[in-house]
Amino acid sequence: MSTYKELAGLKIKTVTSDPSNPLLGEMWYNSTTGSLKVRTFSPGSWTSANSAGGSYMTFAGCGTKAAYVKTMGNDGTPGPNPFGNDTKEYDGTNWTSAPNCPYSSRDPGGAGIQTAALFFGGQGSPATLNTSVSYDGSSFSGTPSMGNPRRSCNGGGTSTAAITVGGAGPASGSPEGAMTNVEHYNGSSWSEEATIPVASRGGTIIGSEPAALFVGGVSPASTATYEYDGSSWTTGGTANTARATQNAGGAGTQTAGLVYGGGPSVSAVESYDGTSFTSDSTLGSGNNGQGNANPTPYSAPTTALYVGNPNPPDSFPAAMTVEEYSVAAAATQTVAVT
């Protein structure tokens, strides 16, 4: 049997306190605690967080796990579902009430960060909406309307470089009226962009205009993805997990992104490097949820947040699922000795 020194080139030292900056693979015995320890690499992980009240289904949200905002949606009351306009903010620990959105809808879209967010579209009463508003962390303001009404929206980017792909428009013969239309908001107006090759609704957008990745949003579920460069769409890497028309979480950029959750009842998580997908740690429960919806690096300390509908879907009454992501990093672990 090989010794630790033969394998790692290091002896196991006896110390009275853990070293401040150990090397990966380094092992030591802490005589104070009586434990054998090793410096290793801890994979990414998800942990449960506090649930938010209010409209906990079919809402829009954006931000990071340290500063998030969600608004509109419905409370899951058996149909006809009432439309909500309540707003909640998350500070990394607690949810608090914020000013109501100027309009009520379910299935709207969102993009940006808590202090510079954009919300748009959704199903109103009785029509699908093209309404758009901005949020600065303390109040809402009206913005120019989208060119096309849509619900089952997705969104990504910033409040001055946002993009929404597809969505369900007025019924037009296809299921839910799924669209190929794409629109971009530049901080002052919406404009139409190149259409995506496949009609879609829901799904998720990673990145920002003009460098975005679209995942899911189709029926039947598919592993196909699409990249956008600001002028045209091309086929992206093939995802490991097929996702359908339910919303999924997305964080990061087109070349360093994270996609998580989605439908039908998908808990799988994958990272994307601009070419290929790699499986990551799974969510505790995934179904039709929202993610960061902005290009903040998901590897940053203010990393990814998943705010999802109840699972199983359409359960009432129920609480939404909120989970925080911790990126893979070096960590000290205690070795079990038998």
126 or 172: which carries more pLDDT confidence? Answer: 126
- Residue 82 CA to residue 243 CA, distance in Å, equals 28
Label residue 242 exposed, middle or buried (CB < 10 Å: 0-12, 13-18, 19+): middle
Between 301 and 255, the more confident residue is: 255
**Predicted confidence (pLDDT) at residue 314 exceeds the cutoff of 80:** no
Higher pLDDT, 156 or 264: 156
pLDDT 10s digits, 40-66? 767 788 999 998 877 778 899 999 999
- The highest-confidence range among 74-78, 248-252, 286-290, 299-303, by mean pLDDT, is 248-252
- Concatenated DSSP letters of 96-137: EEEPPPSS-BBS-EEEEETTEEEEE--B-SSSB---EEEE-S
End-to-end CA distance of the chain: 17
Alpha helices, H only, the chain: 4-8
The fraction of the chain above a pLDDT of 70, given in percent, is 89
b/e map 16-41, b = 16+ CB within 10 Å: eeeeeebeeebbbebeeeeeebbbee
One-character DSSP codes across 233-255: EEE-PPPSS-B-SSB-EEEEETT
Q: What is the pLDDT of residue 94?
A: 95
What is the identity of the amino acid at 53? G
**Side-chain half-sphere of 228: how many Cα atoms within 13 Å?**
27
Q: Please say if the pLDDT value at position 338 is more than 70.
A: no
**10 or 276, which is more confident?**
276
Whether a cis peptide bond, with omega within 30° of 0, leads into 126 is yes
Task: Compute CA distances 210 → 81, 152, 207, 219, 262, whole Å.
Answer: 36, 22, 8, 26, 24
Higher pLDDT, 334 or 214: 214
* pTM of the shown model: 0.86
Given a cut of 50, is residue 174 above it in pLDDT?
no
pLDDT tens sequence across 6-44: 665 667 889 999 998 888 788 889 999 989 988 876 778
For 65-113, how does the pLDDT look when each residue is reduced to its tens digit (9 = 90+)? 999 999 999 877 766 667 899 999 999 999 999 999 999 999 999 999 9
C-beta of residue 116 within 8 angstroms of C-beta of residue 136? yes
Give tens-digit pLDDT for 136-163. Answer: 999 999 999 999 999 999 999 999 999 9
pLDDT more than 90, % of the chain: 65
190-193 vs 204-208, strand pairing mode: unpaired
- Report yes or no: 88 and 95 within 8 Å, Cβ to Cβ: yes
Asked if residue 164 lies in contact with residue 186, where contact means CB atoms within 8 angstroms, the answer is no
Residue 273 has pLDDT above 90, yes or no: yes
Q: Which two tokens stand for residue 15?
A: 């110390």
